[in-house]
């Protein structure tokens, strides 16, 4: 083989190895939010095919009038559609740790005139909501980034009303992707019971009820 081709394949191999193995190990050891500018790149057509926002939200059990919490909305991959699903009589609370992302979401929701969305800057490990005040909470590609998952899940359990639903979705290319069984074990530890599962190894959603 031509040396130039060998060099190109080696570079591609090294990059893939870094993305699939190195980065994952590093982020598992030190979970943290992704740099906020990266959130833009996960909002792309390829992802829309693998984890269609409408289909993903459709698996969560939205109803009009619900009080819904989106933890870690990022660039708003699901936010506008989620706000439409709760309707004028419902409320969508979006909480993100990154102020720049909250500012961008504010522009985005104002542009389309959504008035049923409350944008909150905060840490999922300590939620600024009253106990039993939320009907449905959802996290898409977020849990793996939170250092104290147990604290975040216990907070979600506290703010959900009796019978409330926690929905967690994950997608494999995300370097923070946890296996479905890991997600279920984390949630069980915080008092949730899974009652619905969708998708496959590559992209999944699990719905839990507050125990
Ligand atoms: C990979 S992005 C996913 C964004 C969006 N859910 C999506 O599917 O496109 C993860 C988001 O979670 C937020 N996040 C990470 N750790 C957080 C924490 N402890 N509390 C609140 N938000 C957090 C990040 O700032 C980022 O916006």
Q: What is the pLDDT of residues 114-142, one digit of tens each?
A: 999 999 999 999 999 999 999 999 999 99
Give the pLDDT confidence score for residue 211 in this predicted structure.
78
Q: Using CA positions, which residue lies closest to atom 1 of ligand 1? A: 141
Q: Which of 45, 69, 97 to mutate to test the pocket of ligand 1 (most atoms within 8 A of CB)?
A: 97
Which strand ranges, in their side-by-side order, compose the sheet holding 91-96?
A: 117-121, 91-96, 67-71, 134-140, 160-171, 203-210, 192-199
| Ligand 1 shell residues, CB under 6 Å | 33-34, 39, 42, 71-75, 77, 95-98, 101, 123-125, 140-142, 145-146
pLDDT at 42 over 90: no
> What is the DSSP-derived secondary structure letter of residue 41?
G
Q: Which of 33, 69, 121, 129 to mutate to test the pocket of ligand 1 (most atoms within 8 A of CB)?
A: 33
> What is the DSSP-derived secondary structure letter of residue 51?
S
User: Using an 8 Å Cβ cutoff, are 146 and 152 in contact?
Assistant: yes
Cα distances (Å, whole numbers) of residue 122 to 33, 54, 147, 157: 12, 26, 14, 17
Domain ranges (residues) in the chain: 1-30, 32-210
Give the pLDDT confidence score for residue 160 in this predicted structure.
98
Supply the pTM of this predicted model.
Answer: 0.92
Q: Return the axis-axis angle of helices 79-86 and 99-111, rounded to nearest 10°.
A: 60
Domain covering 32-210, topology: Rossmann fold (3.40.50)
Cα distances (Å, whole numbers) of residue 143 to 112, 137, 147, 148, 209: 28, 12, 9, 9, 17
Q: Using CA positions, which residue lies closest to atom 9 of ligand 1? A: 77
């Amino acid at each position: 083989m031509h040396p130039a081709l060998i060099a190109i394949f080696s570079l591609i191999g090294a990059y893939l190895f870094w993305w699939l193995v190195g980065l994952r190990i590093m982020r598992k050891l030190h979970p943290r939010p992704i740099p906020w500018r990266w959130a833009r790149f996960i909002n792309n057509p390829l992802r829309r095919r693998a984890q269609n926002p409408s289909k993903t939200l459709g698996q969560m059990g939205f109803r009009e009038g619900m009080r819904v919490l989106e933890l870690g909305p990022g660039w708003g991959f699901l936010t506008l559609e989620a706000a439409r699903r709760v309707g004028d009589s419902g409320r969508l609370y979006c909480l993100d740790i990154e102020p720049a992302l909250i500012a961008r979401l504010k522009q985005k929701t104002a542009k389309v005139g959504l008035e049923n969305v409350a944008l909150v800057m905060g840490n999922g490990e300590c939620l600024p909501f009253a106990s039993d005040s939320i009907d449905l909470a959802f996290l898409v590609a977020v849990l793996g980034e939170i250092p104290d998952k147990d604290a975040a899940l216990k907070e979600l359990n506290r703010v959900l009303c009796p019978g409330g639903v926690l929905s967690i979705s994950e997608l494999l290319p995300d370097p923070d992707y946890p296996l479905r069984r890991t997600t279920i074990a984390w949630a069980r530890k915080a008092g949730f019971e899974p009652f619905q599962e969708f998708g496959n190894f590559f992209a999944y959603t699990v719905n839990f009820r507050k125990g």
